[in-house]
């Protein structure tokens, strides 16, 4: 059986500060700014996109100054999103790689929903749910950008046929609905697990919060080394 190499779950800027209570740095200022730019772009894209999705939602164009302005700025907000999310992707992708414990975590989703943390495997900086959101949004945004280029008539209409643009509109709309759904789940989870939302504002959490929700991450910050998953196993195992 192939041995699983221990991995370090922390990133530069993560640190533990003794005190009452213990404070744990979780997100640096650049990471938080990057996150909130991405979040604002997603909200603006959702509102402007929905306003063009169906006549009953056209009133949302009033938020942007009218239909013509909404149609003009929607793709440019998408451009900002691309660069902002790319920054997040490069910053967080390694810590969101799938691990064996993540499968166990998802298989015990009932315990997750019931907040039975003691029945779950120790979690690194991100749990399986957060990883699913990360990779789902990465894929969805990639598809949205690709199809968005196809239907951006002002600059790219000459490169694609009408049938291609129609298919792109259909795919773009469907992926946008999925992206909005994933975003809603992400926001709900951040509010549901108390302390998660404030961590992305202040940049730190308490030691108690880290111990309960991301114990493996906290242990590695304290010891300065990853936990060997093969430690304590016999040769027969």
The DSSP secondary structure of 102-114, one letter per residue, reads HHHHHHTHHHHHT
**Chain Cα centroid distance, residue 211:** 22
Structure-block tokens of residue 25: 């740095």
- Average model confidence (pLDDT) across the chain: 89
Query: In this structure, is residue 82 part of a structural domain?
Result: yes
54 is catalytic: no
Contact 156, 124 (CB under 8 A): no
- 114-123, 159-168, 192-201: which has the minimum mean pLDDT? 114-123
Query: In this structure, is residue 138 part of a structural domain?
Result: yes
Q: Is the pLDDT of residue 230 over 70?
A: no
What's the confidence (pLDDT) of residue 202? 94
Give the pLDDT mean for 54-81: 95
- pLDDT tens for 85-140 read 999 999 999 999 999 899 999 898 888 878 788 788 889 999 999 999 999 999 99
**Residue 226 buriedness (CB in 10 A; 0-12 / 13-18 / 19+):** middle
Q: How many domains does the chain have?
A: 1
What's the confidence (pLDDT) of residue 137? 97
Phi, psi of 17 (to 5 degrees): -120, 115
CA dihedral over 213, 16, 125, 121, signed as positive or negative? negative
Query: In this structure, is residue 209 part of a structural domain?
Result: no
**Which residues contact residue 208 at a Cβ distance below 8 angstroms, ignoring those fewer than 6 apart?**
21, 22
Q: How many Cβ atoms sit within 10 Å of the Cβ of residue 112?
A: 18
Please state the pTM of the whole predicted model.
Answer: 0.86
Give the H or E element holding residue 182: helix 162-192
Residue 37 Ramachandran class (φ > 0 left, ψ -120 to 50 alpha, else beta): alpha
What's the confidence (pLDDT) of residue 1? 38
CATH code (residue 54)? 1.20.950.20
Q: How many Cβ atoms sit within 10 Å of the Cβ of residue 93?
A: 12
Q: Is the pLDDT of residue 236 over 50?
A: no
Q: How confident is the model at residue 226 (pLDDT cuts 50, 70, 90)?
A: low
Q: How many Cβ atoms sit within 10 Å of the Cβ of residue 118?
A: 7
Helix/strand/coil for 166: helix
Task: Give the range of the structural domain holding residue 179, as residue numbers without chain letter.
Answer: 29-183
Give the pLDDT mean for 4-16: 76
Contact 77, 45 (CB under 8 A): yes
Q: Is the pLDDT of residue 66 over 80?
A: yes
Q: Is the pLDDT of residue 237 over 70?
A: no
The rounded distance, in Å, linking the Cα atoms of 39 and 48 is 14
Query: In this structure, is residue 6 part of a structural domain?
Result: no
Structure-block tokens of residue 179: 């992206």
What's the confidence (pLDDT) of residue 223? 86
**Chain Cα centroid distance, residue 113:** 19
The rounded distance, in Å, linking the Cα atoms of 156 and 6 is 47
Query: In this structure, is residue 195 part of a structural domain?
Result: no
Give the pLDDT mean for 33-40: 96
Q: Is the pLDDT of residue 235 over 80?
A: no
Give the pLDDT mean for 142-167: 95
Query: In this structure, is residue 129 part of a structural domain?
Result: yes
- 11-20, 46-55, 180-189: which has the minimum mean pLDDT? 11-20
Query: In this structure, is residue 74 part of a structural domain?
Result: yes
Q: How confident is the model at residue 48 (pLDDT cuts 50, 70, 90)?
A: very high
Q: Give percent above pLDDT 90 in the chain.
A: 70
Query: In this structure, is residue 218 part of a structural domain?
Result: no
DSSP state of 226: -
Among residues 172, 186, 204, 214, the one annotated as catalytic is 186
Q: Is the pLDDT of residue 6 over 80?
A: no
Contact 140, 179 (CB under 8 A): yes
């Amino acid at each position: 059986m192939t041995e699983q190499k221990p991995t370090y779950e922390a990133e530069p800027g993560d640190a533990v500060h003794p005190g009452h209570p213990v404070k744990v740095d979780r997100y640096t200022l650049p990471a938080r700014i990057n996150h909130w730019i991405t979040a604002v772009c997603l909200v603006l894209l959702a509102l402007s996109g929905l306003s063009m999705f169906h006549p009953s939602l056209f009133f949302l164009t009033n938020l942007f100054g009218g239909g013509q302005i909404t149609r003009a700025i929607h793709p440019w907000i998408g451009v900002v999103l691309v660069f902002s999310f790319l920054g997040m992707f490069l910053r967080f992708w390694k810590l969101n790689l799938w691990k064996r414990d993540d499968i166990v975590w998802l298989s015990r989703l009932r315990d997750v929903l019931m907040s039975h943390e003691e029945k779950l495997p120790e979690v690194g900086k991100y749990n399986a749910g957060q990883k699913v959101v990360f990779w789902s949004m990465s894929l969805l945004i990639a598809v949205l950008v690709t199809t968005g280029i196809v239907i951006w008539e002002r600059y790219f209409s000459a490169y694609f046929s009408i049938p291609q643009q129609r298919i792109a509109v259909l795919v773009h709309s469907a992926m946008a609905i999925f992206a909005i759904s994933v975003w809603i789940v992400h926001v709900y989870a951040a509010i549901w697990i108390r302390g998660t939302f404030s961590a992305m504002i202040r940049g730190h959490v308490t030691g108690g919060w880290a111990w309960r929700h991301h114990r493996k991450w906290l242990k590695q910050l304290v010891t300065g080394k990853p936990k060997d998953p093969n430690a304590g196993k016999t040769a027969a195992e």
